[in-house]
A and B are shown apart, each in its own frame.
Chain A
Amino acid sequence: MRARILLATIALCVGIGDSVVRGAPPQEAATTRATTFDPPRLPDGRPDFQGNWQGGSTMGRSSFLDGYLGDREQPKPVASVVIDPPDGKIPYKSWALAKREELWYDYIDPFAACTSMGTVRQMMSTPRGFQIFQTTTRLAILNEWGHVYRVIPLDGTPHLPSSIRLFMGASRGRWDGDTLVVSTKNFNGKTWLTVTGDFHSDRAEVIERFTHSDVNTIRYQVTVMDPYVYTRPWTMVLNLQRFPDPTEETWEEECHGGNVDFPHLRELYKGFFGFPK
């Protein structure tokens, strides 16, 4: 019994956290591995992440994180960006896997009601992308879509009490050498990770690691922990790419102000405010 608990504890420790203990991540593509690049820096010496960026390639990354295709028609299969667990599948509990199928089938995406789409999905925005602003004490990410934003304190501000629940959660950042490590909690559980219904609950904690691979590429690694939904933590990696045109700007896309069919919207989202349980 004790041996089993010990093994379980070891397995849990191996799964948790923002580095895969077994050495090089088993399925990470060569294109996302960080190099020992010396990044552009702010006057305070910290890596400068500012600019206009987009996350991942078109179509692929805001949907089908783990290659899940459901029964909708797809133009081409999409490889998983999940590097842990090694089989590349998001480790849903069986009730949660069934829930994902149901969400994808019903397709009442909270994103379409113009609510903020959560931390991870915000980063996978392409082609509209987002702009990053950075000071010594703050890193702010502002998306064009729906003017969704989050502000990450870098000054040791503590996490919020767990009774506060936010669509974007509440992020807290710290430096690990030239890597920015961000921990986000206080989610309200009303966001999806992808357009295909991947989700976590309000009990999730997300750990992100941002590292420059070169001046136009940020290696973006995410570990999602949610013992309510998954059997273990899981980790994905993808690239954030700088917009190639330096004159390109981030503008406003006001989702809610453009909605015209409110009766229909209200009908569809009747269940939304109690989701998910």
Chain B
Amino acid sequence: MHRFFRWFGTISVVLGGTTLLIPRPAAQVAQLPAAVIPRLPDGKPNLSGIWQVMNSANGNILDHSAELGVPAGLSVVEGGVLPYQPVAAAKQKENYANRAALDPENQCYLPGIPRATYMPFPFEIVQGSTDIAFLYEYAHAARIVHVKEQQHPDGIFPWMGDSRGRWDGDSLVIDVTNFDERTWFDRAGNFHSDELHVIERYTIVDANLINYEATIEDPKVFTRPWKMTMPIYRHRDPHKTLLEYECYAYAEEALQKGAGAASRKH
């Protein structure tokens, strides 16, 4: 009860059984604690925990109205436009028209980076002593952010790319290359090639908020680099754990029952 009133910045006074809410004086509100970045003993920001975005970027990373299964949302892309090369712009339109069949999410394929960040599922960061694990509840997607070795390997093309991380002040900067070209940025058919290069920045600003930025470069698809930004929020329940979304187990079950969205081509 006490905590409830304090949060709303008021003082509660009970008079003869009735509770009066009196606005808290300005001086008391200013005494709320300043943002504190959680840190490890060696001073590095501690990103460990369970996180999730609150937006509709997985539906469409640009401004969009709602459609079936996709809430409306504002663009997470700075400038609100994707700088496609002309041929690529046409391909995106074709992707959008055929998204039920073509969206790799409908086949339960891995979402890649940055899409894994803003899937409507939580993810957990386990920040080990050197390498950092990013574990996504969706289809148990996962990636290791290698810190000791900064060099990307040759000749491998994981769905989630190859991630090499380093600290820049209090920001974790992750360089991601070597992508499988089949992932999309969202359900609206925004796509890339095998030359995709993503530079992410995770900047933790207080105990419960990360400011996320991803710079996208792909000289085969776009005329210039572009950037997306979004806040990522911590799950506050101290007993929260990731559960499972073993996507293809259900997708196969749905197919066996002849459920809709069966326009899969293999």
Per-residue A-contact encoding for B118-148, CB less than 8 Å = 1, 0 else: 0000001011110111010001111110100
Assess the A50–B142 pair: CB atoms within 8 A.
Answer: no
Bound complex: CA A261 to CA B266 (Å): 8
For residue A34, which residues in chain B have a CB less than 8 angstroms away from its CB?
none
Contacts A50-B128, A262-B264; is A149 near B108 (CB within 8 Å)? no
Assess the A140–B133 pair: CB atoms within 8 A.
Answer: yes
Of the listed stretches A69-77, A215-223, A251-259, chain B binds A251-259
Q: Is A108's beta carbon under 8 Å from chain B?
A: no
Q: Is A87's beta carbon under 8 Å from chain B?
A: no
Assess the B142–A153 pair: CB atoms within 8 A.
Answer: no
For residue B162, which residues in chain A have a CB less than 8 angstroms away from its CB?
251
Bound complex: CA A265 to CA B256 (Å): 11
For residue A256, which residues in chain B have a CB less than 8 angstroms away from its CB?
108-109, 139, 248
Q: Is the interface of B mostly helix, strand, loop or mixed?
A: loop
Assess the A142–B266 pair: CB atoms within 8 A.
Answer: no
Q: Is A32's beta carbon under 8 Å from chain B?
A: no
Contacts A135-B48, A262-B266; is A249 near B248 (CB within 8 Å)? no
Per-residue A-contact encoding for B36-47, CB less than 8 Å = 1, 0 else: 000011100000
Assess the A273–B144 pair: CB atoms within 8 A.
Answer: no
Bound complex: CA A263 to CA B265 (Å): 11
Q: Is A116's beta carbon under 8 Å from chain B?
A: yes
Q: Is A157's beta carbon under 8 Å from chain B?
A: yes
For residue A252, which residues in chain B have a CB less than 8 angstroms away from its CB?
142-143, 158-160
Per-residue B-contact encoding for A127-150, CB less than 8 Å = 1, 0 else: 000011111011010100011110
A267, closest chain B residue (CB) = B256
Assess the A269–B129 pair: CB atoms within 8 A.
Answer: no
Bound complex: CA A158 to CA B125 (Å): 20
A274 to chain B, nearest CB (A): 10
Chain A residue total in the interface (Cβ 8 A): 51
Of the listed stretches B14-22, B187-195, B224-232, B235-243, chain A binds B235-243
Per-residue A-contact encoding for B141-171, CB less than 8 Å = 1, 0 else: 1111010010001001011101000000000
Bound complex: CA A198 to CA B248 (Å): 24
A262, closest chain B residue (CB) = B266
B45 to chain A, nearest CB (A): 13
Contacts A135-B48, A147-B141; is A266 near B110 (CB within 8 Å)? no
Binding site for B on A (CB under 8 A): 42-43, 48, 50, 113-116, 131-135, 137-138, 140, 142, 146-149, 151, 153, 155, 157-158, 160, 164, 166-168, 170, 190, 247, 249-252, 254, 256-257, 260-263, 265-266, 269-270, 272-273
Binding site for A on B (CB under 8 A): 40-42, 48, 108-110, 124, 126-129, 131-133, 135, 139-144, 146, 149, 153, 156, 158-160, 162, 180, 182, 238-239, 241-244, 246, 248-249, 252-253, 255-256, 264, 266
Q: List, sorted by A's number, 28 A–B pairs whose CB atoms are closer than 8 Å.
A: A42-B129, A48-B129, A113-B248, A114-B248, A116-B246, A133-B126, A134-B126, A138-B124, A138-B126, A140-B133, A142-B133, A142-B142, A146-B140, A147-B142, A149-B140, A149-B142, A151-B242, A157-B238, A158-B239, A167-B249, A247-B149, A249-B146, A250-B144, A251-B156, A257-B159, A262-B266, A265-B252, A273-B256
- List 15 other contacts, CB 8 Å, given A50-B128, A167-B249, A252-B160: A43-B42, A131-B133, A131-B144, A133-B126, A135-B126, A142-B133, A147-B140, A147-B141, A149-B140, A249-B149, A250-B144, A252-B143, A256-B109, A263-B266, A273-B252
